[in-house]
Structure 1
Amino acid sequence: MQLLLAPMEGLMDPAMRGLLTALGGYDRAVSEFVRVSQGVLPAHVWHRYCPELLTGGTTAAGTPVYVQIMGPEPEVTADNAAYAVSLGAPGIDLNFGCPSKTVNRRCAGASLLKTPDLIADIIAATRRAVPAGIPVTAKVRLGYEDKEHFLDIARAVEDGGATSVAVHARTRAEGYRPPAHWHYVAEIRAALHIPVIANGEIWTPEDYAACRAASGGPDVMLGRGAIARPDLARRLRDHGTAWPWERIAACFLRYDDALAADDCTPTMRAGRLKQWLALVKQHAATDWPFTPALFEHLKGLTDITAVRAALSDPSGLSGVDTGVPTRG
């Protein structure tokens, strides 16, 4: 079983990557995408998106972080990939799946799903530009508006020379709306000779089991589910049960500490913690039933000290039924 930590703009920042990989279970991670359109970006841009380049291309826990690049021009993408590798990237991942309207209007991300030949050209140029020992991987969706050409897209990735492909099992038009169509991943696995990783709608161990059965393989990339349940990778590895809230709260505080060390303002830190809790209460309230009430209490707060205190000890919130026995 290969467990990969997905790239997600605005969610899987370096601090979150560092936290989740420190909890264990992940074989590798992928940075947020770096968009390239002309010329080679300077080193400080790469270091901003992937500070792990300054520490051997891994998180503090030793998990490799591939740099994800998104762009429509084969040679520009290739030149930037070669430079990222020179800075220490252990692998390059190419983004052909971002559904953002802004990105797609600029002929990048998921819009490239409409031109499988160009996908192959971008991958091939990148493959030629980086050393043979450096993996070049890709992330795709099943199509842009529909799934008619999902195998053409997958074959283009392999024809271009990619080491492996992660398949978000929805089209661009479907965005992030459930369900994920994992059975298409099984067809892709049968058609290709490179490893195929399933992605999308894996929130729980039960989802993982269903995805494994439908997609025909054990390898998955965890995205929003990894944030909603910080213990998910460990539970998949260890066949364990949900962690107690005290351990999850400690994750929130460690993340905030990392944000503070990166000079985020207290207000920004409070916002990021509430953004994270919103994902937990929406998708993981079966494990921590009081999180919707906790979020309602926190959503109007901007004081980072108050936010941290409430996350640490939700049982102490006046008038909020957390389901956790009050201390004392």
Structure 2
Amino acid sequence: MRIILAPMEGLVDAPIRETLTGVGGIDRCVTEFIRVTHGMLPPRIFHKYAPELHNHSRTRVGTSVAIQLLGSDPVMMGRHGARAVELGATQVDINFGCPAKTVNRHKGGCVLMREPDLMYDITAAVRQAVPASIPVTAKMRLGYEDRSMGVACGQALESAGAAEIVIHARSKVDGYKPPAYWEDIALVREAVSAHVIANGDIWTVEDYWRCRKVSGCEDVMIGRGLISRPDLAAQIKASQKGETLAAMTWAEVVELVKDYGFALQGHLEDRYVTGRVKQWLNYLRRGFAEAEAIWPEARKHREVAAMFACLDRAPGRARAA
């Protein structure tokens, strides 16, 4: 019953993986996608997205990190899969789920679900290029225009050798609009023998249990839910044991956010650090009234010191809603 931190492009970077895995409950992480085109990427690009490669592909607390690749050229995807393993990757994941227009326009991400045969070729090329001991996995949605391609694409990935398939419970056109169609994940799970992992709209412990019941999946991937409630995975793990874990306080969350900001300061200018902090704070508004209260002021700051002072001034010490 594993919980996997989703690879949210532009937000779930290495410092936030360190922060969230330190809270507990997360069994695995996946990097932001590494874009593969026509030329071989140098090692520094892999290390930029996955500095955990220097630590046996694990965060400081020992949580494993998979390297995710995105591209449409089977040969180059295979070569980059092999390069990732040479650099220390212990799992190679392939992105067939990104709904971003720019990515799809350049034939990457979810648009590939229009072509199950190409999904097969890409996955098979990566599978053939890396040692048999290295799992090759994939993340997809239920389709592009609609949710009709889930089974066909899942079967293509399985036939190509994917050990696990994460399915976001919407089509590209659905975007992130509620609801999540967990019942359609069940259709794919029943049609393949590869291990299927459910993803989409798990915001609470109750959502987790409903998703498991409807999708039939034992494992889940959580993105936005873990960003808005950093202790959600730990709470879910407690519920699996029949226990209840006290919710994290806003004061504790502020320390997490500040630690994240300090980590970013080592290699980014203030305006980029505050930009990343604002992204996280925007999600925290869903779980914490204090985040909502300071948002109008916090969103204006471009200097780290001013941002941290704003966080420290948030009213109250209430627990997450």
TM-score (norm 2): 0.94
In structure 2, the residue matched to 1:34 is 34
In structure 2, the residue matched to 1:74 is 74
In structure 2, the residue matched to 1:196 is 196
Matched to 1:159, the amino acid is S
CA RMSD of aligned residues (A): 1.5
Equivalent in 254, 257, 260 of residue 255 of structure 1: 260
Worse-matched range after superposition: 231-240 or 80-89: 231-240
Counterparts in 2 of 1:1-328, with a 5 A limit? Answer: 1-239=1-239, 240-261=245-266, 263-281=267-285, 283-284=286-287, 288-315=288-315, 322=316
Matched to 1:246, the amino acid is A
Q: Per-residue displacement from partner, 1:18-71 (whole Å, max 9, x unpaired)?
A: 111121111111110011111321111111111111221111111111110011
Distance in 1 of aligned mates of 2:305 and 2:40: 42
Matched to 1:82, the amino acid is A
What is the CA-CA distance between 1:306 and the residue it aligns to?
2.6
What is the CA-CA distance between 1:271 and the residue it aligns to?
2.3
CA contact (8 A) 1:74 1:123 kept: yes
What is the CA-CA distance between 1:312 and the residue it aligns to?
3.0
Partner of 1:81: helix, strand, or coil? Answer: helix
What is the CA-CA distance between 1:310 and the residue it aligns to?
2.8
Distance in 1 of aligned mates of 2:202 and 2:279: 19
CA contact (8 A) 1:289 1:323 kept: no
Distance in 2 of aligned mates of 1:291 and 1:104: 33
Worse-matched range after superposition: 78-87 or 242-251: 242-251
Distance in 1 of aligned mates of 2:246 and 2:117: 45
Partner of 1:58: helix, strand, or coil? Answer: coil
CA contact (8 A) 2:97 2:110 kept: yes
Matched to 1:236, the amino acid is I
CA contact (8 A) 1:250 1:312 kept: no
**Deviation beyond 3 Å, 4+ runs, structure 1:** none
Gap change, CA 1:302 and 1:107, over 3 Å in 2: closer
Gap change, CA 1:270 and 1:198, over 3 Å in 2: same
Gap change, CA 1:211 and 1:35, over 3 Å in 2: same
Worse-matched range after superposition: 200-209 or 265-274: 265-274
What is the CA-CA distance between 1:187 and the residue it aligns to?
1.5
What is the CA-CA distance between 1:297 and the residue it aligns to?
2.6
Distance in 1 of aligned mates of 2:271 and 2:118: 43
Q: Per-residue displacement from partner, 1:96-155 (whole Å, max 9, x unpaired)?
A: 011111111111111110001111111111111000000000000000001222110111
Distance in 1 of aligned mates of 2:263 and 2:60: 12
Distance in 2 of aligned mates of 1:295 and 1:244: 17
Partner of 2:289: helix, strand, or coil? Answer: coil
Worse-matched range after superposition: 56-65 or 263-272: 263-272
Matched to 1:251, the amino acid is L
What is the CA-CA distance between 1:313 and the residue it aligns to?
4.2
Q: Per-residue displacement from partner, 1:182-211 (whole Å, max 9, x unpaired)?
A: 011111121111210000111111211211
**Which segments of 5 or more consecutive residues in structure 1 lack a partner in the other structure?**
316-321
CA contact (8 A) 1:127 1:161 kept: yes
Gap change, CA 1:312 and 1:163, over 3 Å in 2: same
Distance in 1 of aligned mates of 2:72 and 2:301: 42
Distance in 2 of aligned mates of 1:46 and 1:323: 40
CA contact (8 A) 2:293 2:314 kept: no
Matched to 1:245, the amino acid is W
Distance in 2 of aligned mates of 1:153 and 1:279: 31
Distance in 1 of aligned mates of 2:108 and 2:138: 13
CA contact (8 A) 2:250 2:290 kept: no
Matched to 1:274, the amino acid is K
CA contact (8 A) 2:274 2:302 kept: yes
Matched to 2:273, the amino acid is R
Percent identity (aligned)? 44
CA contact (8 A) 2:4 2:221 kept: yes
